[in-house]
């Protein structure tokens, strides 16, 4: 009994002492996930071995997590998380030595606090959101150091779009009476497209331009969506402005050919259906009904074109629109460097993946 009383006393004594110690020596950080797939702070700085109490607040309209990794392993961890996602997991925190700390996925308007001791070893410890599609752009760096940080403008450890900005992106007035979230779609005036243009912004900051006049994908870009402020605030003279960098442009006369004659088919746009904010385009090539749904290819910047052709009684050809990207089709055979041939059966449902060729960059 006495021993137990003494032990209790000691526990209370030391825990009080410890709390007091911790309170004076804990670094408290509140980090926000904000719209546009970003954290409000892209750099944090803590001394080695200090106690950190980190709160993640999700002020965005989609779920986010926060993972701190071993130096230089951010991309590996993002890759492992994608593997988890592909296996059907909704927990995007991989079991790995490379993961040092993690805040699990939290929903919009939620917050989550963890406490941990900062690494003993000085270094640049990346942090990243590993929700599929976010990892490529939503990250920052925790500097474990007693020294000053290097200039932000040349800091390779933060996203390029944030190197000119110490804090949060400027607050802009709302565009609509509802949250500005991705995926999103606008019919608008797009550059390098016919006047019946469509812009779709996908998760992972991959966007594409689809031409409803010509019934075809025109180009794909990464790093953002579109800015319509100029178009909206004028009479419509100014075009939508592309945010990011175009990495794929279809330069063919038309990417699909039906039958042996290889003639350019006549097209008719029928409209589209929205599901989970993704459009499925419906159009006719000659008499063949086509549906097309485009989703991001999360592995590397790119897209998956999910296509169905119904009513085909002749083969279908797909022609590459640009050479320096990677193509993959789950159906058909490549006849040569540029041309994919699909039988009517194969063309009933197939996926063409177009991704940036990272090895060339």
Partner 1 sequence: MRRYSLVIIVTIWIVAGCTLQPVEQEVGVIDDQRIDNFYSVEDVPLPEGLTAEIGGMDFMPDGRMIVCFHRGEVMTYDPREKTWELFAEGLHDPLGILALNNWEVLVMQRPELTRLVDNDNDGEAEEYLVATDDFGISGNYHEFAYGPAYNGKDLYIALNCASKNAGIWDEVRGETNMLGEVAGMYSAVEYRGWVMKLREDGVLEPVASGFRSPDGIGFDLEGNLFVTDNQGDWLGTSKLYHIEEGNFYGQISSLVWREDWNGDPEATPVSTLDSMRTRAAVLFPHNIMSNSPTQPLVIPENSNFEPFAGQLLVGEMDFPRIMRVMLEKVNGKFQGACTSFIDSAGLSIGNHRMVFDPEGNLWVGKSAYVWVGDQGIQRIRYNGGMPMDVLQMNVTPQGFKLTFTRPVDRKMAEKPDNYQFSRYYYAYHQKYGSPRMDEQSVAVKEVQVSEDGKEVLLTLAEMNPGYVYDLQIDQLNSMKGVALKNRRLFYTLNEVPTNQTALSSR
Binding site for partner 1 (CB under 8 A): 173-178, 184-189, 193-196, 212-213, 228, 232-237, 269-275, 279
The answer to whether residues 230 and 237 touch, using CB atoms and an 8 Å cutoff, is: no
State in angstroms the smallest separation of the CB of 301 from partner 1: 23
State in angstroms the smallest separation of the CB of 205 from partner 1: 18
- 3-state secondary structure (DSSP) of residue 44: strand
The answer to whether residues 63 and 187 touch, using CB atoms and an 8 Å cutoff, is: no
Please work out, in degrees rounded to the nearest 5, the angle formed at the alpha carbon of residue 212 by the alpha carbons of 210 and 213.
125
Q: Which is nearer to partner 1, 250 or 356 (CB)?
A: 250
Cα–Cα nearest to 243, from 281, 279, 277, 209: 209
State in angstroms the smallest separation of the CB of 230 from partner 1: 12
Which residues neighbour 241 within 8 Å (Cβ) at sequence distance 6 or greater? Answer: 226, 227, 228, 230
Q: CA dist 188 to 197, 215, 226, 230, Å? A: 5, 15, 10, 12
Q: Which is nearer to partner 1, 53 or 227 (CB)?
A: 227
CA 199: distance to chain centroid?
16
Q: Which is nearer to partner 1, 150 or 271 (CB)?
A: 271
Q: Which is nearer to partner 1, 116 or 278 (CB)?
A: 278
State in angstroms the smallest separation of the CB of 175 from partner 1: 7
**CA–CA separation, 257 vs 320, rounded Å?**
12
State in angstroms the smallest separation of the CB of 240 from partner 1: 10
Q: Which is nearer to partner 1, 4 or 275 (CB)?
A: 275
State in angstroms the smallest separation of the CB of 108 from partner 1: 16
Q: Which is nearer to partner 1, 86 or 175 (CB)?
A: 175
């Amino acid at each position: 009994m006495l021993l137990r009383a003494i032990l209790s006393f000691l526990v209370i004594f030391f825990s009080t002492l410890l709390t007091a110690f911790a309170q004076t020596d804990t670094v408290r950080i509140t980090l926000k996930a904000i719209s546009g797939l970003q954290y409000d702070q892209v750099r944090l700085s803590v001394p080695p071995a200090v106690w950190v109490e980190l709160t993640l607040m999700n002020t965005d309209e989609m779920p986010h997590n926060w993972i701190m990794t071993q130096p230089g392993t951010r991309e590996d961890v993002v890759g492992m998380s994608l593997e988890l996602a592909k296996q059907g997991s909704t927990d995007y925190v991989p079991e790995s030595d490379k993961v040092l700390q993690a805040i699990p996925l939290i929903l919009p308007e939620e917050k989550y606090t963890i406490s941990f001791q900062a690494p003993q070893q000085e270094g640049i410890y990346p942090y990243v959101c590993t929700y599929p599609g976010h990892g490529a752009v939503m990250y920052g760096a925790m500097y474990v150091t007693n020294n000053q940080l290097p200039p932000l403008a040349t800091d390779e450890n933060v996203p390029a779009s944030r190197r000119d900005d110490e804090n949060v992106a400027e607050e802009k007035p709302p565009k609509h009476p509802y949250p500005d979230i991705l995926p999103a779609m606008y019919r608008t005036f797009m550059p390098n497209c016919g006047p019946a243009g469509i812009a779709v912004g996908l998760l992972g900051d991959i966007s594409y331009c689809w031409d409803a006049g010509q019934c075809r994908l025109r180009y794909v870009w990464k790093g953002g969506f579109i800015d319509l402020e100029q178009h909206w605030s004028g009479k419509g003279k100014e075009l939508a402005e592309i945010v990011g960098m175009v990495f794929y442009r279809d330069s063919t006369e038309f990417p699909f050919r039906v039958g042996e004659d290889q003639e350019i088919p006549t097209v008719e746009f029928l409209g589209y259906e929205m599901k989970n904010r993704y459009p499925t385009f419906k159009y006719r090539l000659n008499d063949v009904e086509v549906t097309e749904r485009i989703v991001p290819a999360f592995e590397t910047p790119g897209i998956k074109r999910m296509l169905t052709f119904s009513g085909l009684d002749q083969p279908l050809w797909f022609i590459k629109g640009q050479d320096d990207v990677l193509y993959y089709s789950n159906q058909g055979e490549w006849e040569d460097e540029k041309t994919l041939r699909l039988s009517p059966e194969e063309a009933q449902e197939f996926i063409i993946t177009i991704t940036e060729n990272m090895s060339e960059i």
